[in-house]
Structure 1
Amino acid sequence: MLENNQYATAAASKEASIIQTNKVLKNTYILLSLSLGFAAVCAFIFRNAPMINPWLFLGGFIGLSFLAQALCRSVWGIAAVFAFTGFVGFALGPILNMFMSSGQGTAIVMNALGGTAVIFLALSGYALVSRRDFSFLRGFIFAGAIVLLAAVVMSLIFDISGFQLAISCAFMVFASALILYQTGEIIHGGETNYILATITLFASIYNLFIALLHIFSALSGDD
Structure 2
Amino acid sequence: MISNVIVAQSTEVEKANFYKKTYAHVAFAILAFIGVETVLLKIVPAELIYMMFVQKYAWLLIIGVFWLASFLASKWSLSQSRATQYFGLGFYVVLEAMIFLPLIYIAILQSGGQVIFQAATLTTAMFAGISAVAFTSKRDFSFLRNIIVIGGFIALGLIVGGMLFGFNLGLWFSVGMVILASASILYQTSKLKDSYTTNQYVGASLQLFASIMLLFWYILSILNRRS
Report the TM-score range of the alignment, normalised by the length of the smaller protein. 0.7 to 0.9
CA, structure 1 residues 149+24, in 2 after alignment: closer, same or farther (shift >3 Å)?
farther
Amino acid at match of 1:190: S
For residue 31 of structure 1, the aligned residue among 22, 25, 37 is 25
1:7-156 to structure 2, matched below 5 A, reads: 16-48=10-42, 49=44, 50-51=48-49, 52=52, 53-71=58-76, 72-73=78-79, 74-75=81-82, 76-102=84-110, 104=111, 106-156=113-163
For normalisation by structure 1, the TM-score amounts to 0.82
Task: Give the number of aligned pairs.
Answer: 205
Provide the C-alpha distance between the structure 1 equivalents of 2:156 and 2:8, rounded to a whole number of angstroms.
Answer: 40
For residue 186 of structure 1, the aligned residue among 192, 197, 204 is 192
User: Gaps spanning 5+ residues in structure 1: where?
Assistant: 1-12
User: What does residue 206 of structure 1 align with?
Assistant: 213
8 Å CA contact 1:45–1:93 kept in 2: the answer is no
Provide the C-alpha distance between the structure 2 equivalents of 1:28 and 1:86, rounded to a whole number of angstroms.
Answer: 19
8 Å CA contact 1:112–1:212 kept in 2: the answer is yes
Amino acid at match of 1:83: F
User: Gaps spanning 5+ residues in structure 2: where?
Assistant: 1-6, 53-57
Instruction: Give the deviation of 1:194 after TM superposition.
Output: 2.4
For residue 175 of structure 2, the aligned residue among 169, 174, 196 is 169
- Aligned to 2:113, the other structure's residue is in SS state helix
Provide the C-alpha distance between the structure 1 equivalents of 2:184 and 2:19, rounded to a whole number of angstroms.
Answer: 16
Instruction: Give the deviation of 1:119 after TM superposition.
Output: 0.5
Provide the C-alpha distance between the structure 1 equivalents of 2:171 and 2:165, rounded to a whole number of angstroms.
Answer: 14
CA, structure 1 residues 111+41, in 2 after alignment: closer, same or farther (shift >3 Å)?
same
Higher relative contact order (CA 8 A, sep 6+): 2
Provide the C-alpha distance between the structure 2 equivalents of 1:200 and 1:158, rounded to a whole number of angstroms.
Answer: 31
Provide the C-alpha distance between the structure 2 equivalents of 1:164 and 1:14, rounded to a whole number of angstroms.
Answer: 42
Provide the C-alpha distance between the structure 2 equivalents of 1:146 and 1:24, rounded to a whole number of angstroms.
Answer: 31
Superposition RMSD in Å: 2.3
For normalisation by structure 2, the TM-score amounts to 0.80
CA, structure 1 residues 14+145, in 2 after alignment: closer, same or farther (shift >3 Å)?
closer
Cα deviation digits, residues 32-67 of structure 1 (max 9, x gap): 111111111010011142324422431232122211
User: What does residue 3 of structure 1 align with?
Assistant: none
Provide the C-alpha distance between the structure 2 equivalents of 1:54 and 1:167, rounded to a whole number of angstroms.
Answer: 18
Provide the C-alpha distance between the structure 2 equivalents of 1:91 and 1:179, rounded to a whole number of angstroms.
Answer: 20
- Aligned to 1:101, the other structure's residue is in SS state helix
CA, structure 1 residues 14+120, in 2 after alignment: closer, same or farther (shift >3 Å)?
closer
Report the identity percentage.
Answer: 26
Provide the C-alpha distance between the structure 2 equivalents of 1:172 and 1:90, rounded to a whole number of angstroms.
Answer: 21
Provide the C-alpha distance between the structure 1 equivalents of 2:22 and 2:147, rounded to a whole number of angstroms.
Answer: 24
